[in-house]
A and B are shown apart, each in its own frame.
Chain A
Amino acid sequence: MASKGLSKGAKKLLDNGTKYTSFCNGHTCPIPYATRSMATVSPSVVEPTNLSTAPPSSDPQYVASLPVSTSPKPFRQPRNPFISSVPVTLHSFPSMEPVSLTTYPSTHLLVPLRRDILHRAVIFEGDNTRQGTASTKWRSEVHGSGRKIRPQKGSGSARLGDKKSPMLRGGGVAFGPKPRDFGTDLPRKIYDLAWRTALSYRYRRGELLVTDNLLKIPVRSLPPATNLKRWTKELLEANGLGNGHGRSLFIGLKEKKNYTFFSILKDEDIGRHGRGLGVDDVDVKDLLEGGRVVVERRALDLMLEAHQSDLGPGMRFESEEIAEILGDIEDPEIAV
């Protein structure tokens, strides 16, 4: 019986007459679905053995060889039951009022937690951030002559060469540090997966807040004599974003010098409550630090688009606005 070579699942599927592709040992078999037993293969039905390399139907040679009886149904990839969409509330800054709900794919914000991948990414970032400028002088670099300071034999003490020996005071360092590059490599796909894992970790814990508009203080709507530091501090404390609630990381599209909110966060007093970064300056480590991440929606879209190299073309996230952002340099809303 032809079905002997199939896995248990495949047999079950075939017995039920379901229209799913059968699976052999977990991978898709080029066996099309069938509604009858495979015990006898009718010569009138000649199914192509490999559907993915099936020649186009316009090929006359192929068409001539096709049987006239039951036409094979086209292959349909079954829906992946593990992919869904997750809702994300969009807030209005600075009131932090929930204004709408949008969805993101679960491949981007509901990735299973993989601590080992997060660890690798954080170590990778740390290694590449190292300055690596520690330097010492070895015995050949220490200033001094190479004269033998005492004879080889007869002095009664240990034999010594020059005075630059690391055994002696004032000598060189034995194998001391030299400036070098501590950078390591990490496959891009793993780094991208780590990025999305960090965002998913925050989402699962309810520590990811997304704002619909830019992270800008409405300076023009406040009286000119308003103390913006005091106002910002009240904003952070009222919304539970400050030091008393574990601090927050604010991610904006660009960290320009006149980005008022971010510049206030650099103040010594207000800086205890949180910090602001542009999308280009964020790391996986930054996403994992602090109490929560508050990110602009477009910045989040940018991050997700930039870190999905491990996903297939059918599962990639594409935002229509990102193309506008990348193409439009003189966006008046971004230029504060």
Chain B
Amino acid sequence: MRRIIQFQRSIDLLLDASAPGTLCTTCQLRAASLQRRQFSSSTSRHATAETFLQSLEKRLTGKNPQSQFAELKKVRGEAKKELSEEEYEAFTREIDEAQEAPTPEPNFLDRDAANNPNYKPATTWAGLSRVGSEEWLERRRDKGPPYKGWLGGKTRGVRADHMQAIVRHTVVEALALQQAGRDVLEICDQPRGLPDLQRMALSASIRVEGSGKKVNLVYAVPEDQERLLDLPAATAPKDIVEAVFETTEQHVDLANGASTDVIEDELPTKPTDQGKRDEMPDAKDVWLNISLDDLSLRFAIIKRLMQITGRRIPDNVTNDSSRVSILLGALMTKPKPKRLNQDLRARNQLTQVSNVELSAKRVTPIDKEKKVGRWKVIEEELLRRGLPVTGHRDI
């Protein structure tokens, strides 16, 4: 991905939620205006009636780019109600075309009063791009690609019932490959999240004999066995993961009122065998007792689960996961909160006690003064006397 240099950004940044940044006034005006309307970001000095589109433009030129995007959504809805059909179509066409159009090169001549009769110099710095800092110089010189790791950098919260379905179908696919004599690690290369394949995997029933070491897969449809192994070519990793989540939602039975708790972020250090009782499947589920003593099978399943959930599964969990139930318990157990106040709030302890207050940060004497309302006076007096407000004065 070519790294977009800041001064070349335009309306695409306003409409693309993933790219923060401010826009120059010219680009904002192009987005919000119709062809024949004239807009100005400066304060109006005359008592003119504000048109609807002028008010839209004002709302879109907020300071926070995130709020700008949220505002644009609202604006679309309101524009639909207020404007006529033709005007609304033209309005949305402008925005859509700008979204699809390639990033236009800014014409700096437009910013010169001599060339552009509509040019008005800005009175505030809202919406103007900043140039000249060392970071800006470094960004300009940087022509390299962004780092792209294997995990993708973003973890996603997975529901407990989805996690069970994901683990189950991963185990079935791995066992299918193993029993066919193929390399179990192929599970990570192929787009196994495709709907048909997942349906085949989830519908296969598992029969476990002995202490979980001998596993037989019985497919609902006999042809599924061959089709499960006959895999299409690999696609982008992101497509694999997204497809897995989409199809898992379709297959999980939501009518049973399964738990909607989302498991966030990192794994805990100690995996428990059964996790939480109300989230775990029925203990009679035989697939939970499948043995993972075969390290190649264990590694393949864990790598695939890392790929799907986006969470790194540490080696201690790999070591303890001699059975599928232990691995599932580790994935479903919520991590312990890192801060004491988070822990107490999660367990609802001391929150109801009237003389106890939980704080996210260390309470300093300044916080206490602020609470009482005395801090403003103290700060003003210190500044008046030329004394340091916080810290020590350099001697």
Contacts and interface: CB of A to CB of B under 8 A. Distances in A.
B145 A101 contact: no
Given A87-B315, A206-B269, A223-B144, 16 more contacts: A87-B295, A87-B298, A88-B315, A89-B318, A94-B149, A98-B299, A98-B306, A100-B299, A205-B314, A206-B317, A208-B315, A222-B144, A225-B144, A226-B142, A230-B144, A231-B146
B147 interface: yes
Residue among A87, A206, A223, A225 with most chain B CB within 10 A: A206
B217 interface: no
A227 B143 CA distance: 8
A95 B295 contact: no
Contacts of A101: 295-296, 298-299, 318
A88 B152 CA distance: 22
A108 to B, nearest CB: 13
Interface in B144-187: 144-153
A87 B314 CA distance: 11
Nearest to A232: B147
B84 interface: no
Interface of A: 86-89, 92, 94-98, 100-101, 103, 110, 203-208, 222-223, 225-227, 230-231, 234-235, 237-240
A63 B267 CA distance: 64
A206 B141 contact: no
A171 B149 CA distance: 66
B316 interface: yes
A223 B145 contact: yes
Interface of B: 138, 141-153, 266-267, 269, 295-296, 298-299, 302-303, 306, 312, 314-319
B312 A240 contact: yes
Given A204-B316, A206-B269, A206-B317, A96 B146 contact: no
Contacts of B143: 223, 225-226
A103 B150 CA distance: 23
Main secondary structure of the interface of B (DSSP, over half): loop
Contacts of B145: 222-223, 226
Given A103-B295, A239-B151, A207 B144 contact: no
Contacts of A226: 142-145
B150 A87 contact: no
A89 B150 CA distance: 15
Contact of B314 (A110, A206, A222, A227): A206
Contacts of A97: 149-150
A313 B231 CA distance: 50
B149 A239 contact: yes
19 contacts: A87-B295, A87-B319, A94-B149, A97-B150, A98-B303, A98-B306, A203-B316, A204-B269, A206-B269, A206-B317, A207-B314, A225-B142, A226-B144, A230-B142, A231-B144, A238-B147, A238-B153, A239-B151, A240-B312
Contacts of B153: 237-239
Contacts of A92: 150
Contacts of B148: 95
A203 B152 CA distance: 24
Given A89-B299, A98-B306, A206-B269, A238 B149 contact: yes
B309 to A, nearest CB: 14
Contacts of A231: 144, 146-147
B314 to A, nearest CB: 3
Contacts of B318: 87, 89, 101
A89 B318 CA distance: 9
Ranked nearest first, the 4 interchain pairs of A and B with the lowest CB-CB distance are A226-B144, A206-B314, A97-B150, A238-B153
A225 B314 contact: no
A238 B151 contact: yes
A206 B315 contact: yes
Contacts of B312: 239-240
B1 to A, nearest CB: 12
Nearest to A238: B153
A225 B138 CA distance: 10
Contacts of A235: 147, 149
B322 to A, nearest CB: 11
Contacts of B149: 94-97, 235, 238-239
A264 to B, nearest CB: 13
A226 B151 CA distance: 22
B296 A96 contact: no
A206 to B, nearest CB: 3
